[in-house]
Amino acid sequence: MSLFEDLVNQHIKELEALKQKLLSEVETKIKQKSYELLSKYSEEIGNVQSQVTLERERILYEALVESRRIISNTYEDLLKEIEKDIRDYIDKNRTNERYIKFLENVLLKAKEVIGEDVLVYSSPKDRNVLTILMRKHGLRGEVVDRDMSGGLIASSRDGAIVLDMTLDTLLETNVDEIKRAMSSVL
């Protein structure tokens, strides 16, 4: 081989080595840049996933709160409807034996607690029945008309003792029992 061929071969080897070195450096830089980009986008993807999770939890919480509000409102509407139905039933059935028996029992309780001289406040619709029941059980006093749904308020003449057995008071004091009954059905 000639000197010229040796020089050409040597340059070819140097160029091959340089080529391999450059390919290796480029490959290393590409890998490094790929890892950097992958890390960057992985972090961004993680952040987006966290935001999506938080947003989903917020939406679920709001839906839960809204459903509870709707249930609560429905429950309250149903309770009001039950109270209205009870008032309507009493109003339409004032001559019903059970209602008259209720009034009689309240008068007997008033006689026991207050005595025989009582003032009875009631709906004008119950006046006649109460007057008859008072006479039947030896109660003195009078029946005074008041605007109420049903039941009565019995009072001593001086007002020191008052027995409130109006429908409104009974519904109010028994609202928890009504709610329990509603819950067992719903």
Of 173 and 120, the structure prediction assigns the larger pLDDT to 120
Task: Give the ranges where the chain is alpha helix by DSSP (H).
Answer: 3-92, 97-113, 127-136, 167-173, 175-185
What is the mean pLDDT of the segment spanning 93-117?
A: 93
pLDDT at 146 over 70: yes
Of 175 and 163, the structure prediction assigns the larger pLDDT to 163
**pLDDT tens string 39-89:** 888 888 888 888 999 999 999 999 999 999 998 888 889 888 988 998 899
Report residue 95 CA to chain centroid gap: 39
Query: What is the topology classification, in CATH, of domain 96-185?
Result: hypothetical protein PF0899 fold (3.30.2320)
Kindly give, in sequence order, each residue whose CB lies less than 8 Å from that of residue 134, ignoring residues fewer than 6 positions away: 107, 118, 120, 140, 141, 143
Residue boundaries of the structural domains of the chain = 1-92, 96-185
Residues 150 and 91: their CA atoms lie apart, in Å, by 7
Classify the phi-psi angles of 132: left when phi > 0, otherwise alpha if psi is within -120 to 50, otherwise beta: alpha
**pLDDT tens string 3-26:** 677 777 787 787 788 788 878 888
pLDDT at 167 over 70: yes
**pLDDT tens string 84-97:** 998 899 999 999 99
At residue 150, the pLDDT reads: 92
At residue 186, the pLDDT reads: 64
Residues 7 and 60: their CA atoms lie apart, in Å, by 77
Q: Show the 3-state SS of 103-123.
A: HHHHHHHHHHHCCCEEEEEEC
